[in-house]
């Protein structure tokens, strides 16, 4: 099948995938893989390897699926694992709590909404969004009682801070998977993600202030009677790491990647720095520092269990990301890309709004930002040249646009 018929089949395939995930409750991995196979067969990808009229080898559908799956794992699999492990270690050692304390001291308790929002924004860069809420919610309650601020305002501010960096800034799994699928400039995605997060942070703060005056939580008093103080939270960890060790697992990888990029742009040959600045190695260094934090705090207690739990959590994300890579590879192997190129003027007018809208539809349908980001990235990857988004900077902005779309209609 070719032409407009193939575009229609693609739209129907995406609709069927959304329906199977959201309504039939089929796991995203199975849904995406099944849709990839069905779309590939309808698009005319052969069942087995064959040759075309020019004598060129045309891969069969099984090989296309295998290449899409393995290609995703080889490019970003280890990066996602290391990023998630850093987050788990920061959470378990109390480093996340220490980072939050530093933000409170910087902003001051007279601006509790700003403080809790920035705390969420920082903590959610390495830590999963929901885990970050669990870690910081006791601090939110303590600050609410201490300052007399609206509990609703503080909850909204914390949620906004967590959610913005969760969708915009690697090494959170969604953005890091999107960055790996659409390019190889992880540092630029981090920088643009941090920059682009400023407007929603400002909007989130003012909305939190507004909604806090309009809506009251009936259980505020009951919650605040049993809330733990900051001192009690610290006591649960025994002793928090110092500020340097708390921030180092995040800051050091960013510095290494930034230094490697700067030397590369300057034309300076520094093999060792380039090695350290590779995302896999940079995050491995951050992971080592986080492990040092763990051994300093608990002498390595439960390190095996922490690693095992992290791998169990990351596994589904890796598989969904790889499935998104399969769908992207199937699209690239079909004739759809050639048809879109032949009618590029229609799609160029849509530009960066196409990945944004696609991510928004997927997120609104099934509820997971990570699934929406990884799936959209896999679909959009072969279309970047057609959409005029194939330069490094535009590809990174596409990751941010996908992240923005993945923030809509949170379930």
pLDDT tens digit sequence for 226-242:
556 666 767 777 777 78
Six-digit token string for 216 = 């009251």
- 194: confidence class by pLDDT, cuts 50, 70, 90: very high
Band (pLDDT 50/70/90 cuts) for residue 145 is low
Instruction: Give me the phi and psi of 50, to 5 degrees please.
Output: -145, -175
> Tokens in use for 319?
């598989």
Mean per-residue pLDDT for 153-158?
92
pLDDT digit string, tens, across residues 321-375: 788 778 878 877 888 767 766 765 666 677 889 899 888 887 876 667 887 898 8
Output the CA–CA distances (angstroms, integers) from residue 185 to 72, 76, 233, 313, in the order listed: 15, 12, 38, 25
Q: Mean pLDDT over residues 75-97, rounded?
A: 78
Query: 114-129, pLDDT tens digit by residue?
Result: 988 998 898 788 666 7
Per-residue confidence (pLDDT) for residue 135, from 0 to 100: 64
CB contact at 8 A, 95 and 250: no
Q: What is the mean pLDDT of residues 81-86?
A: 82
Q: Is the predicted pLDDT of residue 193 greater than 90, yes or no?
A: yes
- Averaged pLDDT for residues 269-278: 86
Q: pLDDT exceeding 70 applies to what percent of the chain?
A: 87
Q: Is the pLDDT of residue 411 over 70?
A: no
Q: Is the pLDDT of residue 187 over 80?
A: yes
The pLDDT of 291-319, averaged and rounded, is: 80
Q: In whole angstroms, give the CA distance from residue 359 to residue 371.
A: 9
* Measured CA distances, 211 to 62, 160, 161, 216, 411 (Å): 52, 13, 16, 9, 19
- Secondary structure of the chain as H, E, C letters: CCHHHHHHHHHHHHHHHHHHHHCCCCCHHHHHHHHHHHHHHHCCCCCCCEECCCCCEECCHHHHHHHHHHHHHHHHHHHHHHHHHHHHHHHHHCHHHHHHHHHHHHHCCCCHHHHHHHHHHHHCCCCCHHHHHHHHHHHHHHHHHHHCCCHHHHHHHHHHHHHHHHHHCCCCHHHHHHHHHHCCCHHHHHHHHHHHCHHHHHHHHHHHHHHHHHCCCCCHHHHHHCCCCHHHHHHHHCCCCCHHHHHHHHHHHHHHHHHHHHHHHCCCCCHHHHHHHCHHHHHHHHHHHHHHHHHHHHCCCCHHHHHHHHHHHHHHHHHHHHHHHHHHHHHHHCCHHHHHHHCHHHHHCCCCHHHHHHHHHHHHHHCCHHHHHHHHHHHHHHHHHHHCCCCHHHHHHHHHHHHHHCCCCCC
Is the predicted pLDDT of residue 219 greater than 60, yes or no?
no
Q: What is the pLDDT of residues 11-62, one digit of tens each?
A: 898 889 888 988 888 988 999 899 989 988 988 888 888 877 777 777 889 9
Q: How many CB atoms lie within 10 A of CB 273?
A: 15
Residue 87 Cα to chain centre, angstroms = 13
CA distances in angstroms from 175 to 228, 297, 304, 364, 403, listed in the order given: 33, 30, 27, 18, 7
Mean pLDDT of all residues in 100-104? 73
Look at residue 97 and tell me whether its pLDDT is greater than 80.
Answer: no
- pTM across the whole model: 0.66
Q: Check pLDDT > 90 for residue 199.
A: yes
Q: What pLDDT does 56 receive?
A: 76
Q: What does pLDDT average to over the chain?
A: 81
């Amino acid at each position: 099948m070719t032409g407009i018929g193939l575009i229609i089949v693609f739209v129907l395939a995406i609709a069927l995938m959304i329906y199977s995930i959201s309504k039939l409750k089929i796991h995203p991995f199975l849904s995406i893989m099944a849709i990839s196979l069905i779309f590939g067969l309808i698009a005319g990808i052969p069942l087995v390897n064959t040759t075309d009229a020019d004598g060129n080898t045309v891969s069969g559908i099984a090989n296309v699926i295998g290449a899409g799956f393995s290609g995703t794992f080889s490019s970003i699999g280890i990066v996602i694992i290391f990023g998630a492990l850093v987050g788990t270690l920061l959470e378990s050692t109390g480093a996340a709590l220490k980072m939050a304390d530093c933000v409170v001291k910087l902003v001051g308790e007279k601006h509790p909404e700003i403080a809790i929002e920035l705390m969420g924004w920082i903590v959610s860069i390495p830590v999963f969004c929901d885990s970050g809420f669990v870690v910081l919610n006791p601090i939110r309650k303590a600050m609410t009682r201490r300052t007399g601020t609206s509990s609703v305002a503080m909850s909204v501010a914390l949620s906004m801070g967590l959610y913005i960096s969760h969708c915009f800034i690697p090494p959170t799994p969604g953005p890091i998977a999107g960055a790996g699928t659409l390019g190889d400039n992880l540092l630029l995605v981090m920088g643009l993600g941090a920059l682009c997060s400023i407007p929603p942070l400002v909007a989130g703060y003012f909305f939190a202030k507004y909604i806090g005056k309009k809506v009251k939580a009936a259980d505020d008093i009951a919650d605040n009677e049993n809330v733990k103080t900051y001192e009690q939270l610290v006591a649960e960890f025994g002793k928090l790491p110092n500020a340097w060790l708390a921030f180092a697992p995040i800051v050091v990888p960013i510095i290494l990647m930034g230094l490697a990029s700067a030397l590369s742009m300057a034309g300076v040959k520094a093999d060792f720095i380039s090695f350290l600045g590779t995302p896999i190695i940079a995050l491995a260094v951050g992971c080592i520092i986080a492990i040092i934090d763990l051994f300093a705090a608990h002498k390595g207690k439960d390190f095996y269990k922490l690693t095992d739990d992290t791998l169990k959590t990351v596994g589904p994300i890796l598989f969904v990301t790889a499935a998104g890579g399969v769908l992207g590879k199937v699209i690239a192997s079909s004739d759809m890309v050639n048809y879109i190129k032949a009618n590029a003027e229609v799609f160029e007018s849509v530009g960066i709004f196409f990945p944004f809208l696609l991510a928004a539809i997927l997120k609104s349908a099934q509820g997971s930002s990570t699934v929406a980001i990884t799936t959209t990235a896999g679909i959009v990857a072969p279309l970047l040249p057609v959409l005029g988004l194939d330069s490094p900077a535009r590809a990174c902005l596409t990751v941010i646009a996908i992240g923005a779309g993945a923030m809509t209609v949170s379930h």
